[in-house]
Amino acid sequence: MLLASASPRRSELLALTGWPFEVLATDVDEQPRPGEVAEELAVRLATGKALAAGRGRRERRIIVAADTLVVQGERILGKPIDALDAREMLLELRGRTHRVLTGLVLLSPDRERTIIERCESSVRMREVPLPEIDRYVASGSPLDKAGAYGIQDADFALVDRAAFGDCLANVMGLPLCHLARAARQLGLASPRDVPAACQSHLDYDCPVHKEILN
């Protein structure tokens, strides 16, 4: 398997499946097209990453690519350009509910089949005090994350996980049950119990995995 992403979080999650994989970072233009909605953008970018990873490579492996977007209202929040941008994003998100969308694309080893999955999670950020936001921004953690936050950052619990009820791995960038479902369509079964491995690793009792996989 080939993972078309340099994200350490995606590598961390994909490793839970038990599938051996290689990481190949790809570079695509992430600017939305005029009138393009977030759902379309996520799938288009994931597809572009998958195709870029497969270009010129002859080995027969499944290619996995994903793109995750944070959406507040109609505004798509990408990775912040600097600390000030990160702070402004967090101020916009705090105390409000936003959406996290992932487009997931798998290319078959012969490149003749493309499997597309979409996952959406609803996330409410607590009313984070300003000093806490400033400490989080100063840590540097928000700068490589869409929406300027990582739900897995335990030192800065921006989200009340006890009130969260969707796919947590999706918010981290790779919805594993959707991945397992897509891989199944290509005849590939995981050597591990994916929902169990994901929940154990994230310390999260997922209420949606059965619906996704059945």
Q: What's the CA gap between 165 and 75, in Å, rounded? A: 23
Kind plus residue range of the DSSP H or E element containing 184: helix 176-185
Phi/psi zone of residue 82: left (φ > 0), alpha (ψ -120 to 50 degrees), beta?
A: beta
- In the three-class reduction of DSSP (H, G, I as helix; E, B as strand; rest coil), residue 153 is classed as coil
Q: 27, 67, 144, 155: which is the annotated catalytic residue?
A: 67
Backbone dihedral angles phi then psi of residue 112, each to the nearest 5 degrees: -95, -15
Q: What's the CA gap between 123 and 163, in Å, rounded? A: 9
CB count within 10 Å of CB 164 equals 18
Select from 122, 131, 129 the least CA-distant residue to 166.
122
Torsion from C-alpha of 103, 163, 134, 68, nearest 10 degrees: 0
Question: Given the DSSP bridges, would you call strands 22-23 and 63-72 parallel, antiparallel or unpaired?
Answer: unpaired
- Catalytic: 67? yes
Q: What's the CA gap between 74 and 122, in Å, rounded? A: 14
Residues tagged active-site: 67
